[in-house]
Structure 1
Amino acid sequence: MNWKNALTFFCTLFAATATFAQSAPGKTLTPGKHNFTLQWISWDVPGKINITKNADGTFAAKGDQYSDDKKDFVTIDGTITQTSPAELVFTGTIRTRYSNVNNGAVCEKTGTYHFLSKGARKYWRLQEMDNCEGNNVVDYVDIFF
């Protein structure tokens, strides 16, 4: 194989890989109810996040997950823009509370945050995951496809 054929082969392979990554199945945010979790509460009994499409192409997002006794929770309320199959940009408020973290106080984050889907994951995970407590305590807040 000469260098021109090799270059053509690798360029074709790269273009096909890029196209597949951009159209990865399941990594498109769609309107409807999606599973929504905070690891402290449960991955097995998810809450729900309702996604609705806005006229400007962004998505309204509102949801929650509560523990059985309703004392611990995660809530989300704001707007999402999908910037790529792997990334969501969320602007709004995320509130978490777990009795054994942050002295049981609510951790409220208001602003712009990023959710990423990596590898074979079936969800986007909040990247600004530090809990208000500090001390390397993190909240895994996930929005499922």
Structure 2
Amino acid sequence: MKKFFGACLLTAALFTGYASYAQQPAANTLREGKHDLTLQWISWDRPGKVIIKKQKDGTYTVKGEQRDAKSGDFVTIDGTLTVDSPKELTFNGIIRTQYSNVNGGKVCEKNGTYHFVSKGARKYWRLQEMDNCEGNNVVDYVDIYFK
């Protein structure tokens, strides 16, 4: 009887573990839909939005913006994301930033392949190639949030 009871407990434990494992998203997937987008010069308190959609080839399109209604300052993003790991994304496309007090108020355009990484307990991926077109150690923190 003890062996039967022990076997039942073991089976239940294994099934419970499998069920919770099966509910986890695949390691190289993103949640589709709306995500917050911020550029530190504009605001972390009033994020913009991006839409992320999965494509047939396993990549994701990402498109959206954050815009300050008063100043006209903005960040826009339009391209594709490849999930390298849950904390690392490769982006291919265009990112444009404009902030009136940086780069003479001109648009800074980045066109090509870039990387977004989430470090530590952060709940967002941050653009790693963050140098602004102005130079002078000026950086743009472009962040895409998990939720």
Question: For this structure pair, what is the TM-score category when the shorter chain's length is used for normalisation?
Answer: 0.7 to 0.9
Q: Deviations over 1:72-125 (max 9, x none)?
A: 000000000010011000000000000000000000000000000000000000
- Find the aligned partners of 1:98 and 1:130 in 2 and give their Cα distance: 14
What is the Cα-based RMSD across aligned positions, in Å?
1.5
Report SS of the residue matched to 1:81: strand
- Find the aligned partners of 2:130 and 2:89 in 1 and give their Cα distance: 15
Q: Deviations over 1:2-59 (max 9, x none)?
A: xxxxxxxxxxxxxxxxxxxxx79xx952110000000000000000000000000100
Q: Tell me which residue corresponds to 2:80.
A: 79
Q: Tell me which residue corresponds to 2:67.
A: 66
- Find the aligned partners of 1:97 and 1:78 in 2 and give their Cα distance: 18
How many Å apart are 1:71 and its aligned residue? 1.3
Number of positions where the alignment pairs a residue of Structure 1 with one of Structure 2 = 121
Q: Tell me which residue corresponds to 1:111.
A: 112
Q: Tell me which residue corresponds to 2:98.
A: 97
Max Rg structure: 2
How many Å apart are 1:70 and its aligned residue? 5.2
- Find the aligned partners of 2:41 and 2:139 in 1 and give their Cα distance: 10
- Find the aligned partners of 1:104 and 1:120 in 2 and give their Cα distance: 33
- Find the aligned partners of 2:141 and 2:46 in 1 and give their Cα distance: 15
Report SS of the residue matched to 2:139: coil
| TM-score normalised by the chain length of structure 1 | 0.80
How many Å apart are 1:138 and its aligned residue? 0.1
Greater than 4 Å deviation, 4+ residue runs: none
- Find the aligned partners of 1:67 and 1:74 in 2 and give their Cα distance: 9
Q: Tell me which residue corresponds to 2:51.
A: 50
- Find the aligned partners of 1:119 and 1:125 in 2 and give their Cα distance: 12
Q: Please, which runs of 5 or more residues in structure 1 have no aligned partner?
A: 1-22
